[in-house]
Amino acid sequence: MPQLAQRVGRAKPSAIMVIAEKAKQLKAAGRDIISFSIGVPNFLPGEHVYAAAREALSHDSGQYGSNRGADVLLDAFLQHIGALGFSGYGRMNLSIGIGAKQVLYNLAEALLDEGDEICFAAPYWTTYHDIADIVGARSHVLHCGPEQNYKLTPAQLDAALARRPKVFLFNNPSNPTGMVYSGEEIAALAEVLVRHPETWIVTDDIYNSMVFDGIGYHNFVFARPELRQRLVFVDSLSKTYGMPGWRVGLVAGPEPVAKALTTLNSNHITSLPEVISAAAVAALAGPQEVPQARCLEFAGKRDIVVAALSAIPGVVCPRPQGAFYAFPDVSVAFGRSHHGVRIGNDVDFCAALLDATGVACVPGSAFGEPRAMRISYTCPTAQLRPGLDRIAGFFAELT
């Protein structure tokens, strides 16, 4: 048989999907499973989004659309990012993709040649490392453990940028930790970024509308507008509007970058489907009650999760302030046993937890932090407390 391309050998199936798959199998076999594993928002968009999709269907052109995105969608996105605090952008600064994941993949193609360095903080969203591997870039990972609230410091960033990486990839609020950088923290990092003009900055901030405790969303360009000429902002409808299956990613950045992404689109996806685009406009420009209500709900669930985990002796759970994840350090369990099953590391821990209690969490090593595990807490509240009780019970039974 002929050989597959080498880059495919570098592609790995998502570690998150492996756990989710196992949980699904156990459920099919009749086990009572509570899934804290997949990062899905678990709500649907408002009725106006469906109405816009139905309306678009009724006068469907049946044609290909724009590689950059329909003008009406670009205008809705401009309005949306304007409300977030981005100013001075026009349609030529924008492009679209089939979800933020495809936008990020496109960006890797557009900004990184083989052998180039990309740096990002750990814990990181698993896909960052995988996309870098596929395009043949070298990942330089900056470890930010629970002792520093999983946040990158200006000194760490300064040292990393001294290596002149081609791209610095940043994620705020964070998947998997739920951490959010304050305006002051963003401004301090922005001061470092202005001193290193040879590096592109990609801010994957798709959870920007899910920020709690009034700390707000901040971007480096709010603090230092001159960074706009090399900063790319990535957004998505998936989490904010409960639309992960609709696959809409959006991007704002310097014109040459937006143009490069649009050219890549012209060679693979061509365009977003017309109906999806109409639904996206309705989500962005229509009433915002659904995302606002969900953000409040997630803040409440965050409180429940942090209280339950912090009550477990030895577990450290830095307090998330956004998204819908918690990332407790569970390493106190390592070297111990659960009913004779030895737990050596995070993977053993999550496997034993799932087997013994039916609770599915993702091992932290999937995100570059093997002391922790990720809890995605968007499940119905009726499952949240029992799931957390089972985790506490599991710890209590360790010997």
Ligand X SMILES: Cc1ncc(COP(=O)(O)O)c(C=O)c1O
Taking the complex as a whole, how short is the minimal distance between the CB of residue 235 and ligand X, in angstroms?
A: 8
The verdict on 95 binding ligand X (CB under 6 A) reads: no
φ/ψ region of 215 (left if φ > 0, alpha if ψ in -120 to 50, else beta) reads alpha
The verdict on 388 binding ligand X (CB under 6 A) reads: no
**CB nearest ligand X: which residue?**
99
Give me the residues paired with residue 96 across strands: 250
Of residues 125, 233, 241, 324, which one binds ligand X by CB under 6 A? Answer: 125
Q: List the structure tokens of 365.
A: 């090593």
Q: Which is nearer to ligand X, 171 or 199 (CB)?
A: 171
Give dist(CA 68, CA 51) in Å, integer: 24
Residue with tokens 């509240």: 381
- Scanning residues 250 to 309, which ones bind ligand X (CB under 6 A)? none
The dihedral formed by the CA atoms of 257, 207, 368 and 374, expressed in degrees to the nearest 10:
-160
Residue 391 CA: distances (Å) to CA of 315, 370, 385: 11, 18, 10
Of residues 100, 108, 189, 258, which one binds ligand X by CB under 6 A? Answer: 100
Mapping DSSP to helix (H, G, I), strand (E, B) and coil, where does residue 228 land? helix
Taking the complex as a whole, how short is the minimal distance between the CB of residue 41 and ligand X, in angstroms?
A: 10
Taking the complex as a whole, how short is the minimal distance between the CB of residue 171 and ligand X, in angstroms?
A: 5
Taking the complex as a whole, how short is the minimal distance between the CB of residue 376 and ligand X, in angstroms?
A: 9
Give dist(CA 23, CA 355) in Å, integer: 9
The verdict on 322 binding ligand X (CB under 6 A) reads: no
Give dist(CA 42, CA 27) in Å, integer: 18
CB-CB contact of 181 with 161 (8 Å): no
Q: Which is nearer to ligand X, 237 or 312 (CB)?
A: 237
DSSP per position, 235-278: EESTTTTT-GGG--EEEE--HHHHHHHHHHHHHTT----HHHHH
Of residues 117, 185, 204, 274, which one binds ligand X by CB under 6 A? Answer: 204
The verdict on 236 binding ligand X (CB under 6 A) reads: yes
The verdict on 244 binding ligand X (CB under 6 A) reads: yes
The verdict on 137 binding ligand X (CB under 6 A) reads: no
Q: Which stretch binds ligand X (CB under 6 A): 95-103, 144-152, 162-170, 386-394?
A: 95-103
Give dist(CA 83, CA 33) in Å, integer: 40
- Scanning residues 212 to 231, which ones bind ligand X (CB under 6 A)? none
Taking the complex as a whole, how short is the minimal distance between the CB of residue 343 and ligand X, in angstroms?
A: 27
Give dist(CA 90, CA 74) in Å, integer: 9
* Alpha helix (H) residue ranges in the chain: 6-9, 15-28, 47-58, 71-84, 99-111, 126-135, 154-161, 183-194, 220-223, 255-267, 274-285, 289-310, 346-357, 381-396
The verdict on 99 binding ligand X (CB under 6 A) reads: yes
Give dist(CA 140, CA 149) in Å, integer: 20
Of residues 199, 238, 277, 378, which one binds ligand X by CB under 6 A? Answer: 238
Q: Which stretch binds ligand X (CB under 6 A): 69-77, 97-105, 279-287, 375-383?
A: 97-105
Of residues 23, 39, 107, 132, which one binds ligand X by CB under 6 A? Answer: 39
Q: Which is nearer to ligand X, 46 or 173 (CB)?
A: 173
Q: How many residues bind ligand X (CB under 6 A)?
A: 13
Taking the complex as a whole, how short is the minimal distance between the CB of residue 18 and ligand X, in angstroms?
A: 15
Q: Which is nearer to ligand X, 207 or 394 (CB)?
A: 207
Give dist(CA 202, CA 12) in Å, integer: 23
Of residues 35, 156, 175, 277, which one binds ligand X by CB under 6 A? Answer: 175
Q: Which is nearer to ligand X, 249 or 318 (CB)?
A: 249
Give dist(CA 106, CA 15) in Å, integer: 22
Residues in contact with ligand X by CB under 6 A are 39, 99-101, 125, 171, 175, 204, 206, 236, 238, 244, 249
